[in-house]
Amino acid sequence: MSSYFTDLAQQYIDGEWRPGTGSWDIIDFNPYDGEKLASITIATVDEVDEAYQAAARAQKEWAETNPYTRRGVFEKALGLINEREQEITDVIIAELGGTRVKAGFELHLAKEFLREAIHLSLRPEGRIIPSPIDGKENRVYRVPVGVVGVISPFNFPFLLSIKSVAPALALGNGVVLKPHQNTPITGGTLIAKIFEDAGLPKGLLNVVVTDIAEIGDAFIEHPVPKVISFTGSDKVGRHVATVTASHFKRSVLELGGNSAIVVLDDADIDYAVDAAVFSRYVHQGQVCMAANRVIVDRSIADEFTEKFVAKVKGLKVGDPRDPETVIGPVINSSQADALTSTVEQAIAEGATALVRGETTDNLVSPSVLTDIPAGSALLHQEVFGPVAFLIPVDGEEEAVRVVNDTPYGLSGAVHTASIERGVNFAKRIDTGMFHVNDGTVHDEPIVPFGGEKSSGVGRLNGETMLDAFTTLKWISVQHGRSRFPF
């Protein structure tokens, strides 16, 4: 594993591994023990330009390559991930502080998305559309957009980079990837290495490890990329949307959430407890789909709360390398401090701490809070960590109102003995995704993934990848001679 942090601590531009030319380094730390994993000299605006130009040059030939040939690269990449699974698992644990369960979950999904990319290479189809003009043949071709810029986050960097990079490449595009500064290897150069070894032609995939303090908006303003795929916070996403729109680019924005898991009066309480604990605390709660709010019908709230609190208290906090650990570190000290402040603010506003977690360096133990005042801003924002808000409600109507009382609309879940009651409940919630009798954290390769309101714009996965990373071109053919009015 250590060789990954040594060999891959570089920029990857036009098929070459090289240091950046910036004046400072990004230091990659293990969030659990503070070990320095890598030091990467950042890429400058010039290198961002070189990466995009390389992608543009390579893309022309790649788009003309037989899609059956293209898909072979993804088959080899999938095989390499299978071969290197243990090493990649170790990298995820070291760089993200992800537990073994989390690493397994991320790798499983990444492989599923690569399998879908194999099929996606053959998915684009053209159409012939009738014309009102005699002898006119209207052909509509689905063609690559050209070059896609991908910005990935720190929480599931391997999966969420591959999720955009692989389909964009499969559909004939070039890609420049900018991973998060906290996960430059897992979310960036490790993926470049896998595709390089899988035989992807040089220049098609480039990775620039850099920071907006160095490059500003150069990554999204650059004239080459026609689509920017961004996964991250709604605050940054709003800026990306504004800049891309002003440059007539398309953006695909997968942003934050303030999801709720709802437990109705006829739910299986023990099962709902299990689903709620997983939905809130998986990967320390650093998941956009995580259930910030646990909304429970008041008639069963006492029993649910007792069992929920008992299960949360039993979650092991500590070293993510330990297979028994459920809660590892959050990504950095700023995140840990923010979570501590969230709990303190809630208690100052009158909330009751049923479980009050402690913070030791980047280890933040789980908290469970209830009696949060209805007007608290905390109920309307994303809390990216192991803090749950328990909210009792009087009946289904109030549950719907409370769930929708947020600027976000990403995911959610409801538990009930009646499937159709659950489906009808789900239809009333303003989200892109909602699950009946399950958790809130799901992603599948062929099901449209995305949110409403401040949770994003556009969808990824399956057929929606065609909308994200291709465009339509109309070519008409006039058989015979047209008649012109003059």
Instruction: Give the residue numbers annotated as catalytic, written as ranges.
Output: 254, 288
CA atoms within 13 A on the CB side of 417: 6
From start to end of 122-226, where are the E strands? Answer: 127-129, 136-144, 147-151, 174-178, 205-207
Instruction: Sort 311 into a burial class: Cβ within 10 Å, 0-12 / 13-18 / 19+.
Output: middle
* Token pair recorded at residue 154: 């720190």
Q: Which residues contact 23 (CB under 8 A, 6 or more apart)?
A: none
Instruction: Sort 138 into a burial class: Cβ within 10 Å, 0-12 / 13-18 / 19+.
Output: middle
* Token pair recorded at residue 12: 């990857």
Q: Residue 118 belongs to what H/E stretch?
A: helix 100-120
Task: Write the CA distances from 97 to 32, 104, 277, integer angstroms.
Answer: 6, 13, 19
Cα 7 to Cα 50: distance, rounded to the nearest angstrom: 21
Cα 166 to Cα 121: distance, rounded to the nearest angstrom: 10
CA atoms within 13 A on the CB side of 430: 15
**With left for phi above 0 and alpha for psi between -120 and 50, is residue 245 left, alpha or beta?**
alpha
* Token pair recorded at residue 230: 């961004």
CA atoms within 13 A on the CB side of 400: 13
Q: Which residues contact 47 (CB under 8 A, 6 or more apart)?
A: 11, 13, 20, 21, 208, 210
Return the C-alpha torsion angle 404, 410, 413, 414, nearest 10: 20
Report phi then psi at 94, rounded to 5. Answer: -70, -45
Dihedral sign, Cα of residue 273, residue 279, residue 284, residue 285? negative
Contact 420, 266 (CB under 8 A): no
Cα 314 to Cα 177: distance, rounded to the nearest angstrom: 39
Total residue length of the chain: 486
Instruction: Sort 59 into a burial class: Cβ within 10 Å, 0-12 / 13-18 / 19+.
Output: buried
Task: Write the CA distances from 84 to 43, 107, 195, 245, 446, integer angstroms.
Answer: 28, 11, 13, 40, 25
